[in-house]
Amino acid sequence: MSMRSWGAAMAAGALTLSLLAAVPGAQASEDSADTAGHGNHARTVGYYIQWGIYARNFVVRDLVANGTAAKLTHLNYAFGFLDAQGKCVSADPWADYQRPFPAEQAVNGRADEAGQALFGNLNQFRQLKQLFPNLRINISLGGWTGSKFFSDAVLTPESRAALVSSCIDMWLKGNLPGAAPGAAAGIFDGFDLDWEWPASEGNPGNGIRPEDKQNFTKLLKEFRDQLDALRRTTHRHYDLTAFLPADPAKIDSGFEVRNIFRYLTFATTQGYDYHGAWESTTNQQSALRTPAADPTSPKFSSQVALDALISRGAPRNRLVMGVPFYSHGWTGVNPANFGLFQPSTGPAPATFEAGTEDYKVLKAQLSRFTVYRDNRAGFAWLFDGTTFWTWDDPVEMTRKARYVNDRHLGGVMIWSLDADTTSGELIAALHRELSR
């Protein structure tokens, strides 16, 4: 899983509807609170994408300029890969540690100079940590296109030990190929495991075995054991986190939920991609609760994913709910029901990939759309009569952060930080509500 009769008198972009009655039977159930608190201690975890420095022209300095860095507790760098031998490798050495940054793109405002020990995004992270010493930066391993070799790499005790040792040597001890020994030491505070997915199909061609489920737990134990051994030398605490799927079937196939939290600092949950333009019918991609009128089965929402994990033994104060800073879209959409749950002719045109667009891009086009909200299920969308986009704006970010507070969850996780505006309005909305 990676997801007009009413409007005749409306001016596009001018009206927001509350669909408390528009979607018949939309669920509005609330969950009882438990005793796990968080309040101002909620985590705000953001993914910074390695490839953002290219066509997106989003550099680490932009996290400072738009106010994002000051609002993060954790930054996940996406992604490091595994090779066919089951060892950690850089997915893009140029972006990671070879690219010189000019002064206008550097966090410290000084151009990189020939002969320095480290370049690239990693050197910019080092400068970022000088400005924000409490910010924890973790290297994320895997992702949709980088999970091919996980199943092989975790198959035996020896292969797991070799994998973890290579990851620690490269990313924590900072021994990068072609760079001075230890050039990147001290930049990363731990690992975020984004294996998509143990024992379930992700990107075509990934290795999959039924024993992935048990081996994932064993991999976490190996990471924790080796990280604890390193801590005795460096006297630093290291994070170990994991990205967990929204689909309860994938959770059951690939994760011993109660056991993995023996080793994890916290886990992030998939709070998006419930539906998208890979389907022909429009739908929500990040609803808090499942709308009863949703014609698909099984039904997905953040509440479905979180309840599945909690019921299987996950501590809610260590579940960090994912939120999207992007939209999924369709075009050629039937105008009935304001475009929701309607057939389309295909993905909506977009900047980099048809059917997916950054919040900041759609925000600039907002005048052509009307915003609709389902306040019971907790989601919104844009529609102009033919093009439909899912829509997570500051109103929805506030709603999501309030949900995290009300359920005593462990915070929010953002995919991905480059899609926010130059003023950082989405993360600002999250921060305001989480800080209450």
pLDDT in tens, 135-146: 999 999 999 999
User: What is the 3-state secondary structure of 255-299?
Assistant: CCHHHHCCCCCEEEECCCCCCCCCCCECCCCCCCCCCCCCCCCCC
Q: Is the pLDDT of residue 6 over 70?
A: no
- Can you give the pLDDT at residue 140? 99
Q: How far apart are CA 237 and CA 319, in angstroms?
A: 20
Give 262: exposed, middle or buried? Use CB within 10 Å, 0-12, 13-18, 19+: exposed
Answer for the pair 347, 332: CB distance below 8 angstroms, yes or no. Answer: no
| CATH level 2 (architecture), domain 33-325+393-434 | Alpha-Beta Barrel (3.20)
Q: Is the pLDDT of residue 8 over 70?
A: no
Answer for the pair 337, 368: CB distance below 8 angstroms, yes or no. Answer: no
Least confidently predicted of 29-43, 206-220, 374-388: 29-43
What's the pTM?
0.92
pLDDT grade for 52, boundaries at 50, 70 and 90: very high
* Residue 103: other Cβ atoms inside 10 A: 10
pLDDT in tens, 235-247: 999 999 999 999 9
pLDDT in tens, 201-226: 999 999 999 999 999 999 999 999 99
- Can you give the pLDDT at residue 89? 98
Answer for the pair 5, 334: CB distance below 8 angstroms, yes or no. Answer: no
Catalytic site residues? 196
pLDDT grade for 81, boundaries at 50, 70 and 90: very high
Answer for the pair 348, 375: CB distance below 8 angstroms, yes or no. Answer: no
- Can you give the pLDDT at residue 27? 28
Give 120: exposed, middle or buried? Use CB within 10 Å, 0-12, 13-18, 19+: buried
H or E stretch covering 415: strand 411-415
